[in-house]
Chains A and B, each alone.
Chain A
Amino acid sequence: SQQGEEDPQALSIQEGENATMNCSYKTSINNLQWYRQNSGRGLVHLILIRSNEREKHSGRLRVTLDTSKKSSSLLITASRAADTASYFCATAPTDSWGKLQFGAGTQVVVTP
């Protein structure tokens, strides 16, 4: 079963616009991670935010985490066509090692 629910399922924007996607989860977590996947290939790690952090930045990415609401958001600023991909949130439960629970993903299309 999947831990996270992501919203929206799909997002279509133009280059230069910002893209925001949300993730909700159910159990206690050690951290929450965001991954990107291009066309059925392997996953690329984007950013990790620990349960005691509220916000984190990496380049054009900004992630927030609200453990009281069990939710997270990923913001991609100034989108580029190369950002077209599926984005997944994944939670690392407090009681498991090496086991990530993924959401269903948000498919993002950035048109030039």
Chain B
Amino acid sequence: KAGVTQTPRYLIKTRGQQVTLSCSPISGHRSVSWYQQTPGQGLQFLFEYFSETQRNKGNFPGRFSGRQFSNSRSEMNVSTLELGDSALYLCASNTGTGVDEQFFGPGTRLTVL
């Protein structure tokens, strides 16, 4: 079974721009969660989508949004980028029917200049 894939792997943007990150979960998994990892704040939960609906949300401003498609692929969008948005963005997939392990992708490294 193929693992979780994320594209792109690296991204450089400037302040004020917007960015879209993509995540393809493991086949059959219906839940996709997004996390932001920074040296200062560590790993923080952004949101979780299950069957195209946002089921959980973390404490991030509205500039961070996401969506999930019918094939369970998910995208995350960050608008009006700030320097502090520079981070490793990780997505994780899960069957969504139990509180079990999550399978993480390799991450997208976003640098905001």
Are A45 and B102 in contact, with the CB atoms below 8 A?
yes
The binding surface of chain B is classed by DSSP as strand
Is A88 on the interface with B (CB-CB < 8 A)?
yes
Please count the residue pairs between chain A and chain B whose beta carbons lie under 8 angstroms apart in the complex: 73
Chain B residues whose C-beta falls within 8 Å of the C-beta of A48 in the assembled complex:
100-101
| Given known A-B contacts A31-B99, A42-B90, A104-B42, A98 and B31 have beta carbons under 8 A apart | yes
Are B94 and A98 in contact, with the CB atoms below 8 A?
yes
Docked complex Cα distance between A41 and B4 (Å): 13
Docked complex Cα distance between A90 and B105 (Å): 17
How many chain B residues touch A (CB < 8 A): the figure is 31
Is B107 on the interface with A (CB-CB < 8 A)?
yes
Docked complex Cα distance between A102 and B37 (Å): 10
Docked complex Cα distance between A90 and B50 (Å): 20
Is B75 on the interface with A (CB-CB < 8 A)?
no
Contact with B along A69-112 (1 / 0, CB 8 A): 00000000000000000001010100011111111110000000
| Given known A-B contacts A88-B43, A99-B33, A41 and B48 have beta carbons under 8 A apart | no
Chain A residues whose C-beta falls within 8 Å of the C-beta of B88 in the assembled complex:
40
Chain B residues whose C-beta falls within 8 Å of the C-beta of A2 in the assembled complex:
41-44
Q: Identify 25 residue pairs between A and B in the complex whose beta-carbon atoms are under 8 Å apart, listed by A's number.
A: A1-B59, A2-B41, A2-B44, A30-B99, A33-B101, A40-B88, A41-B107, A42-B104, A42-B107, A43-B92, A45-B104, A48-B101, A98-B31, A98-B48, A98-B50, A98-B55, A98-B96, A98-B99, A99-B48, A99-B58, A100-B35, A100-B92, A100-B102, A102-B35, A102-B43
